[in-house]
Amino acid sequence: MTVKRILFLLALLAAVGGTASAAPAATNSAAANRVLLIDPSSMPVAAGKATLIIGTLVRTNGVYVGDYKLKVFPYFLKNDKGRLAIVVSDATLAMVTQGKPAAITGTATTAKNGQTRHIEATATPTDSQHGKLKLWFLAGGRKMIFEPAYHFAGEGMAAVQPPSTATNLTVINL
């Protein structure tokens, strides 16, 4: 759950970064109507790999919300899925739109038992539509760190996620 929040916040920051040259009100309005897409990301775990997959994130009332899956190979019993909520204020979106890195926070709620995890992230825009996220959360006493790329898509546009490069992974709920 924490991972999804981080990803959501990072996505919001990226959306704001692309409209830095526009008037502030128009930039925030345009950024607020875009969906956030986060690429799958992996990190090593003991004799295996954890892969975080975040679905399309939609912003409502300053919060990006969407689904996530965590796949842990070969430890399929550690797989997780649930809902991610990342808080991205208009001010934070404006920072990202201006190309400035921004810190974001959120929560990930597992579908398994409703447990909530705190997520933190830093969004570093590369341009107004794209950037990198560094998100982290605690899972089983271990700090999980993922560094996916993100991009924004306009409202009503087809939101296509790139194919996952991970294979033979199982879904893990946070």
| d(C-alpha 109, C-alpha 162), whole Å | 24
Average pLDDT over residues 67-83: 94
- In this structure, which amino acid lies at residue 23? A
pLDDT digits (tens, 9 = 90+) for 25-44: 334 455 567 899 999 999 99
CA–CA distance from 134 to each of 8, 158, 170 (Å)? 11, 25, 22
pLDDT digits (tens, 9 = 90+) for 5-20: 444 444 443 333 333 3
pLDDT band at 87 (very low <50, low <70, confident <90, very high): very high
Taking phi over 0 as left and psi of -120 to 50 as alpha, with beta for the rest, 69 belongs to: beta
pTM for the model stands at 0.71
Asked if 130 and 14 count as a contact pair (C-beta separation under 8 A), the reply is: yes
pLDDT band at 23 (very low <50, low <70, confident <90, very high): very low
